[in-house]
């Protein structure tokens, strides 16, 4: 499957800090993967997504190899691909994976072959592949309540939402939170995490997503196609902007004095924030910190029936380019995923 990657420049750190650090530090060519049998993996070649045969990687110390069943699709995938296109040899694409542990590296304890897991993969070992090796600090047991396709939609979206609402905004029970873009991958994760914290959740979306958002816990849904959301929302303690910086600017009017605006789509001008008597923050780079503590908490929510993933559509690995085209339209309800052939 070949499709040109759009060449619009992207500031990697602004766009995908969760994964960008790993990309910048780790861009060895696929030749550095261990030799042996081969697997199918989606890579960028000549600016196009191609499924190629590459060596099956061998797990090193502290790593497991996962036989991937499904890969979640994130905006970071195409944003990183544009960066990778300018930086030399591309890693295997994708960050989010679900699958079965297939091999253990030296010194790995507490995990066994055959366990079902979710993972945040680390370049060059992307998730658009039949196998990936992942440090154990980046995996968690798959929720019992979710299919492999659904579980593959957890890592990037849930970690981003958790870091934004809990680590940065310190969201408390009883607080009012506005999730701008509530029906998307990060937004739907944020709605559920906020609800599980006991917050009063207001979410923006187009009208077609109202029922979905109420089903995952939104107390109010504002249809942004019917007028500016800031005319309907007041006195919130926390805003999470997942849409664009212009929405972030408008959302300032919805916050109580002393409230906090967290943006995952661009930094706010601090003078505007000060003038509005609010705090503005971004989750920033995770700096390679372990994903497991975040994933474990979201898996616990899922196992308790408090977190689910709506799979808008599943694509075959060879149709990854089509998945990206759909995702870039910006109207995914929940997640797009790739099913990985065995
Ligand atoms: N900084 C970080 O660490 C980080 C991490 C993850 C993601 N991101 C960025 O965050 C953004 C969102 O990511 P995502 O994975 O959630 O994307 P996504 O799943 O593609 O988001 C799609 C959703 O956006 C909604 N939407 C579009 N325009 C809207 C508007 N004007 N108002 C309200 N909702 C609107 C759509 O709802 P409707 O169909 O109803 O319009 C749709 O449900 C992306 O730009 C991504 O790159 C940053």
In CATH terms, the superfamily for domain 157-281 is: NAD(P)-binding Rossmann-like Domain (3.40.50.720)
- Which residues does a 6 A CB cutoff place in the pocket of ligand 1? 15-18, 74-76, 79, 156-157, 160, 180-181, 183-187, 204-206, 209, 224, 242-243, 264-265, 283, 327, 330-333
Which atom number of ligand 1 is nearest to the Cα of residue 282?
1
For ligand 1, what atom is nearest to the CA of residue 334?
19
pLDDT at 91: 85
What's the confidence (pLDDT) of residue 180? 98
pLDDT of 28: 39
Specify the 3-state DSSP secondary structure of 66: strand
For the chain, what are the domain ranges?
A: 12-154+309-339, 157-281
Q: Which residues pair with 223 in a beta bridge?
A: 205
- Least Cα distance to 324 among 310, 340, 336, 341 occurs for 336
143 CB neighbour count, 10 Å cutoff: 25
What residue ranges of the chain have pLDDT lower than 70?
A: 1-35, 84-90
pLDDT score, position 22: 43
pLDDT at 271: 96
- Do residues 41 and 54 lie in contact, with contact meaning Cβ atoms separated by under 8 Å? yes
End-to-end CA distance of the chain, in Å?
A: 18
Is residue 312 within 8 A of residue 333, CB to CB? The reply is yes
CA distance 2 to 295: 33
Q: 12-154+309-339: what fold?
A: Quinone Oxidoreductase; Chain A, domain 1 (3.90.180)
For residue 209, the ligand 1 atom closest to its alpha carbon is 40
Measuring from atom 46 of ligand 1, which residue has the nearest CA? 75
């Amino acid at each position: 499957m070949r499709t040109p990657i759009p060449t619009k420049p992207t500031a990697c750190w602004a766009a995908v800090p969760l994964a960008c650090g790993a990309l910048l530090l780790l861009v060895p060519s696929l030749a550095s993967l261990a030799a042996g049998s081969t697997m199918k993996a989606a890579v960028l070649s000549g600016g196009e997504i191609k499924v190629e045969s590459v060596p099956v990687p061998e797990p090193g110390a502290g790593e497991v190899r996962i036989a991937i069943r499904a890969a979640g699709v994130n905006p970071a995938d195409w944003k990183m691909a544009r960066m990778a296109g300018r930086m030399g040899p591309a890693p295997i694409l994708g960050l989010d994976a679900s699958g079965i542990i297939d091999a253990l590296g030296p010194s790995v304890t507490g995990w066994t072959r055959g366990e079902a897991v979710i993972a945040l993969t680390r370049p060059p070992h992307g998730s658009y592949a039949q196998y990936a090796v992942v440090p154990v600090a980046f995996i968690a047991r798959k929720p019992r309540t979710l299919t492999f396709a659904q579980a593959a939609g957890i890592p990037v979206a849930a970690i981003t939402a958790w870091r934004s609402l809990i680590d940065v905004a310190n969201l408390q029970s009883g607080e009012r939170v506005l999730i701008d873009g509530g029906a998307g991958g990060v937004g739907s994760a944020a709605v559920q995490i906020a609800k599980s914290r006991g917050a009063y959740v207001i979410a923006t979306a187009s009208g077609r997503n109202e029922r979905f958002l109420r089903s995952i816990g939104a107390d109010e849904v504002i249809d942004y196609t019917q007028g500016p959301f800031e005319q309907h929302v007041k006195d919130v303690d926390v805003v999470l902007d997942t849409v664009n910086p212009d929405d972030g600017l408008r959302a300032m009017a919805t916050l109580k004095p002393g409230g906090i605006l967290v943006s995952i789509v661009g930094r706010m001008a601090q003078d505007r924030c000060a003038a509005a008597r609010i705090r503005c923050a971004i989750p920033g780079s995770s700096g390679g910190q372990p994903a497991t503590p975040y994933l474990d908490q979201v898996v616990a929510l899922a196992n308790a029936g408090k977190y689910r993933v709506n799979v808008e559509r599943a694509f075959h690995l060879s149709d990854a380019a089509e998945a990206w085209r759909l995702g870039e339209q910006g109207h995914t309800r929940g997640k797009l995923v790739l099913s990985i052939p065995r």
